[in-house]
Amino acid sequence: METVAKYEGDLNLKATELRLGLPGVEDFEKQKTPIVRNNKRALVETGDDCGSNNNSDISDARDRDLETAPAAKKQVVGWPPVRSYRKNSFQSKKTEVETSGMYVKVSMDGAPYLRKIDLKIYKGYPELLKALMAMFKFTIGQYSESEGYNGSEYVPTYEDKDGDWMLVGDVPWEMFISSCKRLRIMKGSEAKGLALGL
């Protein structure tokens, strides 16, 4: 499901936070109390608003603006006149496009063609694995840290940002979806090497 990130105020503080997960993943909340949410936003923005509070500065500000027209203008509340709903829809969309790990190819040893899935729609490994099993009609055994998917006919692996082939499930989910470039369902016999940590 699509998630919509709600950013607080125009400063977009969340986007500059350092984190491993994709932006907006944990921000999805049902709009049960939109009033509270909007309250925060209004306060933050009026706090930031230094451009339009002082009436006598209007013509001064305008002259200044004309002189410094090429320079970036300080932000003003409510300008440009685009509704928050619309602004927020695209703030989240832009960061979605910029991050990697959204649609990834999935190949399975022995299958004639590849599939593509959107990693963002899964909440965690169990869901992803269930979907893969349904898609390719195979089964895998239980995952364990020490032994991987020992005993399975097939083993899910992925290629990460560094180009290495990793076992699906070793790293936290957030880290996985931001670093996964493609998936490969390997035959169990071939995967023995991975599980043993070679």
The residue ranges that bind other proteins (CB under 8 A) are: 1-2, 30-32, 34-35, 38-39, 41-43, 45-47, 52-56, 58-59, 62, 65-66, 69, 72-73, 76-87, 89-90, 93, 115-118, 121, 131, 134-135
- Strands 103-108 and 154-159, by their bridges, are unpaired
Nearer to other proteins, 78 or 172 (CB): 78
Residue 16 or 30: the one with the smaller Cβ distance to other proteins is: 30
C-beta of 27 vs 190, nearer to other proteins: 27
CB 188 → other proteins: shortest distance, Å? 22
Where does residue 70 rank: exposed (0-12), middle (13-18), buried (19+ CB within 10 A)?
Answer: exposed
Structure tokens, 68:
């410094």
Spatial CA neighbour of 10 closest among 63, 65, 78, 56? 78
Quick check: bond before 70 cis, omega within 30? Answer: no
Closer by beta carbon to other proteins, 129 or else 148: 129
Give the residue from 35, 33, 32, 12 showing the smallest Cα distance to 24. Answer: 12
Provide the minimum distance between the beta carbon of 158 and other proteins in the complex, in angstroms, as a whole number.
16
Q: Report the greatest alpha carbon distance in the chain.
A: 78
Shortest distance in whole angstroms from residue 192 CB to other proteins: 28
| Shortest distance, position 137 Cβ to other proteins, whole Å | 10
The per-residue DSSP string of 22-65 comes to PTTSTT----S-HHHHHHHHHHHHHHH--SSS-TTHHHHHHHHH
Nearer residue to other proteins within complex by CB, 53 or 189? 53
Q: How far is the CB of 85 from other proteins (least distance, A)?
A: 5
